[in-house]
Amino acid sequence: MVFSSLVFLFVYLPVVLLVYYLCPRRLRNGWLFVVNLVFYGWGGPKFVFLMLFTTAANYLFGLGIGKHRDSAPRKARRLLIASIVLDLGLLAFFKYAGFLEDTLNLLPFLHLPELSIPLPIGISFYTFQIMSYTIDLYRGQAETQRSLIRFGTYVFLFPQLIAGPIVRYKDVAAQLDGRRESMAQFQNGVCLFCVGLAKKVLLANQMGLLFDSLQALSGIGVLGSWAGGIAFTFQIYFDFSGYSDMALGLGKMLGFEFLQNFNYPYLADSLTDFWRRWHISLSTWFRDYVYIPLGGNRRGRGRQILNLLIVWFLTGLWHGASYNFILWGLYYGILLILEKFVFHRLLERLPRWLRHIYALFFIVVGWVIFYFEDFGQLGSYLAALFGGQGLASSWDTIVLLLRYLPLLLIAAVASTPLGARLMARVRTSRAGGVITAALCLASLFLCTCALVDQSYNPFLYFRF
């Protein structure tokens, strides 16, 4: 089930909220636990049992780690290692076994049988969430959760279950045990959800259609190829940030406050700045649980460079079992290393608008690498970006771009804080409440009309 579906909007969510607020507070986590299972099992019921097993196992590991953390630290460490091996082992089996098999079959003397292992939706996200619990518990940064229902509610919480943001247990532990919902929080949640829905349905889907339409044309030239790259750059941003906004909004409706996952990343004036703004929950997860434990920047420049390459290799691999994701991760790893150690001072001397163009150039090229899993198609598209397939664009390409130009301009403006600032002014005005409600209803109406009319409605990050 996806947020931008009519079933979710007009059946699942109203029932969940109605029963949730009719329940006594002591039963609300139990109700969420049940409806979370329904949400996750909607598209693949068999994977519910995998998640239940993972949840129960880590709950038991958590009890053991909490019990022995101070009195028997070696035993607690062994339990932590066992939990990490289990979690990463399941992730590796379901997500990377087929990729490993394909890689081994490149050897001339190996002919392994083809594996067909279905990928559980959201396994990368909920695995990292669960690991944050046991690791923080071992570090003494979180307290043991003794209620299996509350722990299961955290793991299965449907707003961020299948596409993030990655919510660490310590950030919501107090909310699981004793949150207090309010009307203001609920209203803010509805508004944020509608913003995210509009990003997804009215912008991301249309940018995806533009990108697909350009790829279907011949002779798109440099202009068409760059327009396609920019369209996908907007699609993946509005798709994922829209989902994150909806997740944060749904969390507020249920009394939860999740941390921000995006901070206008296309305003970045360097690649370092971009990764401080993009998918913040993933960047901080790798920083706190991989980069710093490896030694971070504390063991000399050579070791720091190695640590950065390891982190970015894993970041790319986390996104998918394909060589282009690994290439994409190393692409950013190398660029960030160069930015940090080679031309950092040069960048500081440049005017901000030029630094901004520099960052956007490499961001768009990066998203092209991210998109194409086939290296032949990737090479052809990269060649087209730099004139390898001709400078001129076909008339069909120009007509298509002119038709989408207003939407491209809207997308460019919507990726800046301008809309949020205007909304903030509206909400503080005398008739702010009425205007905000009207805008939310209008957004919901337009999105509903679009969902009824269109069949193109993917969530890009569901496959991760």
What is the spatial distance between Cα 268 and Cα 261, in angstroms, rounded to a whole number? Answer: 15
What is the spatial distance between Cα 187 and Cα 433, in angstroms, rounded to a whole number? Answer: 10
Which long-range contacts (C-beta less than 8 Å, at least 24 apart) are formed by 33-42? 33/149, 33/152, 33/153, 33/156, 35/158, 36/152, 36/153, 36/156, 36/157, 36/158, 36/161, 37/156, 38/12, 39/1, 39/12, 39/158, 39/161, 40/121, 40/122, 40/156, 40/158, 40/161, 40/162, 42/1
Contact residues for 147 (Cβ-Cβ < 8 A; gap 6+): 29
What is the spatial distance between Cα 457 and Cα 99, in angstroms, rounded to a whole number? Answer: 27
What is the spatial distance between Cα 157 and Cα 164, in angstroms, rounded to a whole number? Answer: 10
Which residues are catalytic, by number? 319
DSSP assignment of 1-37, as one string? --TTSHHIIIIIHHHHHHHHHHS-HHHHHHHHHHHHH
